[in-house]
Amino acid sequence: QVQLVESGGGVVQPGRSLRLSCEASGFTFIRHAFHWVRQAPGKGLEWVAVISDDGNSKYYADSVKGRFTISRDNSKNTLYLQMNTLRTEDTAVYYCARAFTLFGVPSDYWGQGTLVTVSS
Amino acid sequence: EIVLTQSPGTLSVSPGEKATLSCRASQSLPTNYIAWYQQKPGQPPRLLMYGASTRATGIPDRFSGSGSGTDFTLTISRLEPEDFAVYHCHQYGSSPTFGQGTKLEIK
């Protein structure tokens, strides 16, 4: 069955960095694009970034552009989100979600999420 | 950026009744790239509907979607106890956005 398992969350001070991972199984990883979507405590969903199946195309929300980097290792079936210069407003549960293309198709499977808390 | 505004923020409905949730886009979506997700506490979103009106795999037919342009609706007929959750609308065009969510609670 399709599984997406995020890891790497935790408590970090403002200005520091963190790298999230999302390990995929149960489907052909290289056939899918992937998104990161976050949800601040008690708030709605916010799209963060997307990467194409081959990793060559990447797009970001303005709120994270220049600070976050999405990447993937197709040999390890793993998606990453490198988060630098973290701010308190980045505190959220971060979900990885798969899609068949970059845009124009909604994500059908989501991981359980990993909590990132940015606090001094 | 396309802003999605969901209404109401909270909807109180009795089991067995019908619920109607609204999602309004700040600009027209000619491709109808609107999806609806259901989210329960501590769980990730679950895809219910895409293309405004197509049910995702395994979604019961009491869920239906409609709309075009800027106004979209999710209707749940004959509410079951497991339907009480938060519902998010989502436009999945070239700069994806989500609505702020509608909480469907038991009346």
Please write the tens of the pLDDT for every residue from A11-45.
999 999 999 999 999 999 999 999 999 999 999 99
Cβ <8 Å between B98 and A108: no
d(CA A35, CA A49): 6
3-state secondary structure of A88: helix
pLDDT band at B86 (very low <50, low <70, confident <90, very high): very high
| pLDDT score of B94 | 84
Q: Express each pLDDT in B29-52 by its tens digit.
A: 988 999 999 999 999 999 999 999
pLDDT of residue B2 exceeding 90, the answer is yes
pLDDT at A96: 98
Residue range B2-12: mean pLDDT, rounded? 96
Banded model confidence at residue B80, pLDDT cuts 50, 70, 90: very high
Residues of chain B with a CB closer than 8 angstroms to some CB in chain A: 1, 31, 33, 35, 37, 43-47, 50, 56-57, 88, 90, 92-101
Read off the pLDDT of residues A47-101 as tens digits, 9 standing for 90 and up.
Answer: 999 999 999 999 999 999 999 999 999 999 999 999 999 999 999 999 999 999 8
Q: Does residue A106 have a cis bond before it (omega within 30 degrees)?
A: no
CB A50 to CB B96 under 8 A?
Answer: yes
- Token pair listed for B39: 């989210």
Q: Would you state the pLDDT for residue B90?
A: 97
B94: helix, coil or strand? coil
Distance CA B55, CA A10 (A): 36
Instruction: Indicate if the pLDDT at residue A46 is higher than 90.
Output: yes
Contact residues on chain B for A44, CB-CB shorter than 8 A: 88, 98-101
Determine the pLDDT at residue B49: 97
Identity at A76, one-letter amino acid code? K
